Amino acid sequence: MQVTDGIGRTGRVLAALIAAVALGSLLLQYVLLLELVRSSIGPWMGTLRYFSYFTILSNVGVLLVAVHAALASPGFFASARGRGALALYIGVTGAIYFLVLRHLWQPQGAQWWADTGLHYAVPLLYWAWWLGFVPHGDLRRGDVLRWLAFPLAYVAWTLLRGQWVDEYPYPFIDVNLLGWVTAARNALGVLVLFVVGGALVVWLDGNLRKRG
């Protein structure tokens, strides 16, 4: 069957590498988290906590896009809009971690490897792949608003879950620590970052098409 998604052999090899790094980092972080909560909240609530981090969700998304690209599979994660969405989500993940969160702790040992993979290696590899090995020119300004659906749903879920289990995944939206007004203001600021980042992704896509 002829492959028509415009990704060449080198792009597929890099996609396979990204998938391997993302999967390894995700599994390592899951094992480390379950070990940490084994005697407190247990594996089921630990799994819920694991999937309550935007970092985890964005890396899972990258994994799906990379696997689809490596195998030349069709679907949303093989579409220009899907790839652009993950460029935005994993880009915001890396930016917020680097600018805000990395100063708050000093991971060591296996946790350092998981942390580096999820917050640095995967975002940088994915962006290098998206910029250099993916066809461009199909994104539209309306995609920026469409891409907001996922982070909006995430914020809503995070606040609801926080009221349920009395914990929040990130300190800048911790209602217990900051209060509702400050947490809501911070969440709004993050959503603005998604809008700006989405506009950047669409702009880059258009310019890369022109140069191509």
pLDDT of residue 209: 81
Query: Alpha-carbon distance 167 to 158, whole Å?
Result: 9
Q: Which two tokens stand for residue 203?
A: 């702009």
> Got the DSSP string for 197-212?
HHHHHHHHHHHHHHH-
Q: Which two tokens stand for residue 185?
A: 């203001």
pLDDT confidence of 108, banded at 50, 70, 90? Answer: very high
Each residue of 63-95: pLDDT tens digit?
Answer: 999 999 999 999 999 999 999 999 999 999 999
Residue with tokens 């969700």: 57
Query: Alpha-carbon distance 115 to 105, whole Å?
Result: 11
Task: Please count the CA atoms within 13 angstroms of the CA of 82 that sit on its side-chain side.
Answer: 18
Each residue of 156-208: pLDDT tens digit?
Answer: 999 999 999 999 999 999 999 999 999 999 999 999 999 999 999 999 999 99
Largest CA distance in the chain: 56
pLDDT confidence of 1, banded at 50, 70, 90? Answer: very low
* pTM across the whole model: 0.94
Cα-based distances in Å from 63 to 3, 37, 39, 110, 210: 20, 25, 30, 20, 28
CA torsion sign, 38 to 39 to 40 to 45? Answer: positive
pLDDT confidence of 4, banded at 50, 70, 90? Answer: low
**80: closest CA among 29, 156, 192, 4?**
4
pLDDT of residue 2: 40
